[in-house]
Chains A and B, each alone.
Chain A
């Protein structure tokens, strides 16, 4: 194989271009640090997004031979291994901006109930930071990316002074809010990284509701549009696309010296050097890179003296319950697209209960309310066929409400990522193996999730076709993977310190979701952005002080 060495040394190599890598590059380049970003894919062409394409138009285009945008990595190209009895859905976007091109945009602040959970219930380890450490960064992130939301503030979900105005609730959400309140379960305005006002040169949202297909106007946060172009403008950022990172290289002293990667298309190997390596390839890929970065000094992977690397996987367990509100039967149809997804959110409420038979909590999202989708969304919950079936769909279409609880999956050492030396990928790099299953705590929480959904729907007088008790999405489906490279005070129990810096190797920082000490029930991207900003503030200061 042709081996090319690039002699130039950069200050910092950033692996990944999503929320964490994008933020690291944005912050470091703004401080004059020279950054080389390695991105595993290409730039996605905004002009070719199929944002406003209706289902039948999509079929017409495919019939004509048009090519649909390819956001998601096909496991045929990069497989991941799972035991036969432990299915896992790993969703990866390799390309500029990563998953922020298509993300759900829910932007929630974590609280001291989350950061200090282990101190209260004794499970796992406590975060090395508290809300006060991250609050200034949450404030900065909200101001930079533009997050809409309400003025609510609670011990579960800290408020923000910098929210843009929220999008008001749809009819179905008004009923659900009232119904939940009647059970003493407060619902708040949804918090989303959608711009409800023009911001930093980006147009406000035009409420077409199809953010998941990629936004033609960048009216929601994405790293590719809201961070990286600003970093490029400083002149301090160089980006290599289609650079699939295999390993972090170390020198004789055990410190990181650079990165080895393979060109995604040609398979050619390259090595690049830097004083510091920042890892933000998303949880599972970052963990794989570190596990594969073996050497005589680090026989089980880089930063793994604790044996915690790859262990303690955490995420959220998801369930879905739908119903129809008789008050809305036959109502004139409305445009319910809005921000795409829910405009109200039910934050965790179970911390006020002391009779729980499980640890931690769940929040409830409510996407797919009313006429946001085609009639299929309603028809899926109605049985039968013929003229009566058609009439029932028509009547119930505006009356659909859906509840989607997300519950914290405890961080347990046996839920882990490893690499399989006998199963290399196309570049000869060992594949990751994911072994995750849910336990008793998740099953008990799931029961409470279903009970709560049923109670809220009952309070709303909803017709509920079925409650799929016991069912949950395949592990991984939340796309919120965490904790396989966790932060902690004790180097024997964690991989990173409170500034996302490796305990074992001081010039490696891991700034993506893998660094979370525990998952909480909240969607993580806002916290990833805040952590990456804080970590790279520290990194830049250490560089300046000559400590790195």
Chain B
């Protein structure tokens, strides 16, 4: 699959029909036709305005931003802060879902995010931070923050951290992952997502070393090393 067969404009028009294709082509970027916002041209959401949280207070938003950036920090690629993961989490908590398609799997299998519980979790984080470090979480130094999160992420039996804080961190981490890897930065700057394009053929794997892979030879080689 080293070479994706991207389709020319003519085929796109025939495939999608004129109106849909016009939308697609209006935003066409290099090679990938539908990706990178190409399918639906991006519209600035709050033109000329600074984003304001709808659910979080200013202080809570600060904690959410710092916490998400600790979970997925800027490295050689942007992190959660640059990907506006705080805005994503704010949206998830503020959204009344009336425009969303009903999702039976979420309805059945996931307990809905409790807004009160989320707020309590943020408060609990600050309280535990104050007990340990004498400061709110965001005011604590980075080394202490990481040390604290390490315990939250993988508490040992002797840990004094309450279960509610561990559950909150698990939920927060999940939302951060969802927000970051579903963002334009997470998909295209961090992971270089190749999909969501129009292709005339799907070639599949054409790596000789994959197609000729011998599990036994590979195992022996690994054991020798």
Interface hits, A19-54 → B, CB 8 Å: 47, 52-54
- How many A-B contacts at CB < 8 Å in the complex? 218
Interface hits, A183-240 → B, CB 8 Å: 203-210, 216-217
Is there contact, CB below 8 Å, between B91 and A171? no
A175 contact set on B, CB distance < 8 A? 210, 213
Interface string of B30-45 (1 = CB under 8 A from A): 0000110101101101
Is there contact, CB below 8 Å, between B19 and A390? no
A333 contact set on B, CB distance < 8 A? 191-194
Is there contact, CB below 8 Å, between B99 and A62? yes
Is there contact, CB below 8 Å, between B196 and A52? yes
How far is B184's CA from A69's CA once the two chains are assembled, in angstroms? Answer: 22
Q: A60-B42, A216-B16, A333-B193 are in contact. Are A179 and B1 (CB under 8 A)?
A: no
Is there contact, CB below 8 Å, between A47 and B192? no
A173 contact set on B, CB distance < 8 A? 205
Which listed residue (B153, B184, B211) contacts A56, Cβ 8 A?
Answer: B184
How far is B2's CA from A64's CA once the two chains are assembled, in angstroms? Answer: 38
Most B CB contacts (10 A, CB to CB) among A61, A62, A68, A386 go to: A386
B222 at the interface (CB under 8 A from A): yes
Looking at the assembled complex, report how far the CB atom of A178 sits from the nearest CB atom of chain B, in whole angstroms.
6
Is there contact, CB below 8 Å, between B101 and A71? yes
B204 contact set on A, CB distance < 8 A? 167-170, 338, 343
A358 at the interface (CB under 8 A from B): no
Which listed residue (A53, A56, A474) contacts B187, Cβ 8 A?
Answer: A56
A61 contact set on B, CB distance < 8 A? 40
Is there contact, CB below 8 Å, between B45 and A327? no
B140 contact set on A, CB distance < 8 A? none
Is there contact, CB below 8 Å, between A67 and B99? yes
Is there contact, CB below 8 Å, between A63 and B45? yes
Is there contact, CB below 8 Å, between B20 and A216? yes
A359 at the interface (CB under 8 A from B): no
B186 contact set on A, CB distance < 8 A? 374-375
Which listed residue (B40, B75, B195, B207) contacts A53, Cβ 8 A?
Answer: B40
Interface hits, A320-342 → B, CB 8 Å: 327, 332-339
Most A CB contacts (10 A, CB to CB) among B45, B91, B146, B215 go to: B215
A122 at the interface (CB under 8 A from B): no
Is there contact, CB below 8 Å, between B15 and A217? yes
Looking at the assembled complex, report how far the CB atom of A324 sits from the nearest CB atom of chain B, in whole angstroms.
15
Q: A75-B107, A385-B149, A386-B73 are in contact. Are A335 and B222 (CB under 8 A)?
A: no
Interface string of A116-146 (1 = CB under 8 A from B): 0000000000000000000000000000000
How far is B79's CA from A386's CA once the two chains are assembled, in angstroms? Answer: 10
Q: A374-B181, A385-B173 are in contact. Are A65 and B99 (CB under 8 A)?
A: yes
A378, closest chain B residue (CB): B181
B25 at the interface (CB under 8 A from A): no
Is there contact, CB below 8 Å, between B91 and A59? yes
Q: A203-B15, A386-B73, A461-B215 are in contact. Are A374 and B187 (CB under 8 A)?
A: yes
A208 contact set on B, CB distance < 8 A? 34, 195-198
How far is B191's CA from A393's CA once the two chains are assembled, in angstroms? Answer: 9
Is there contact, CB below 8 Å, between B177 and A376? yes
B200 contact set on A, CB distance < 8 A? 204, 206
**Chain A binding surface, main DSSP class:** loop
B187, closest chain A residue (CB): A374
Q: A70-B101, A70-B102 are in contact. Are A371 and B91 (CB under 8 A)?
A: no
B184, closest chain A residue (CB): A56
How far is B181's CA from A390's CA once the two chains are assembled, in angstroms? Answer: 10
B198 contact set on A, CB distance < 8 A? 206-208
Is there contact, CB below 8 Å, between B39 and A53? yes
How far is B135's CA from A212's CA once the two chains are assembled, in angstroms? Answer: 48
A203 contact set on B, CB distance < 8 A? 14-15
B133 at the interface (CB under 8 A from A): no
How far is B35's CA from A287's CA once the two chains are assembled, in angstroms? Answer: 44
B108 at the interface (CB under 8 A from A): yes
A470 at the interface (CB under 8 A from B): no
How far is B4's CA from A371's CA once the two chains are assembled, in angstroms? Answer: 14
Is there contact, CB below 8 Å, between B190 and A394? yes
Looking at the assembled complex, report how far the CB atom of A329 sits from the nearest CB atom of chain B, in whole angstroms.
13
Looking at the assembled complex, report how far the CB atom of A218 sits from the nearest CB atom of chain B, in whole angstroms.
10
Is there contact, CB below 8 Å, between B195 and A386? no
Is there contact, CB below 8 Å, between A169 and B39? no
Is there contact, CB below 8 Å, between B75 and A54? no
Is there contact, CB below 8 Å, between B210 and A171? yes
Q: A343-B204, A375-B186, A474-B109 are in contact. Are A335 and B4 (CB under 8 A)?
A: yes
How far is B211's CA from A379's CA once the two chains are assembled, in angstroms? Answer: 27
Could you pull out 26 A-B pairs where Cβ atoms are within 8 angstroms?
A52-B24, A54-B184, A56-B187, A62-B100, A63-B45, A64-B43, A89-B108, A174-B205, A175-B210, A178-B214, A178-B215, A203-B14, A208-B198, A216-B17, A217-B17, A333-B193, A336-B195, A337-B197, A372-B195, A374-B191, A379-B177, A384-B153, A386-B146, A460-B215, A474-B108, A474-B109
User: Which A-B residue pairs are the 8 nearest by beta carbons?
Assistant: A168-B204, A55-B182, A375-B181, A335-B194, A68-B101, A334-B1, A337-B195, A171-B205
Task: List A residues at the B interface (Cβ < 8 Å).
Answer: 47, 52-57, 59-75, 87, 89, 91, 167-171, 173-175, 178-179, 182, 203-210, 216-217, 327, 332-339, 343, 371-372, 374-376, 379-380, 383-387, 389-391, 393-394, 397, 459-461, 474, 477
